[in-house]
Structure 1
């Protein structure tokens, strides 16, 4: 396993653009995967749906924490957002 060091992120610009997915059965369980990385196998279309792309310079959706996402990606290759569904993530 390769553990990457987190890059310094300029204010207003996150380290990655993210593909955001939502669990079909547990709507309060979104997952963020860097757009430049392969989608993990557990994010199959039967249980997960693609929501949107969150660009590197776009404002974060409410509840999305850039630092937590980059740490999750560094350790796992993706980040499960284990908080209640934020507003804006209908």
Structure 2
């Protein structure tokens, strides 16, 4: 899966994770460290399964839970119009 930010969407890393800004309407989303890792890996060309595996390895969660959470995050980002595949 090739994922990229929609034009007009930018990110900035913070000490708490990553902020995603939709420059069209000024809305922003705060991603915690887990969400930031998933988005960073997907933008780097990794698959959803690979991103979830990295989350499971980095944080104390099962692979199944990591995949469910990563899928839910990706669905929300798509619904908000922030990413395109």
Looking at secondary structure, tell me which structure has more helix per residue: 2
Same fold (TM over 0.5): no
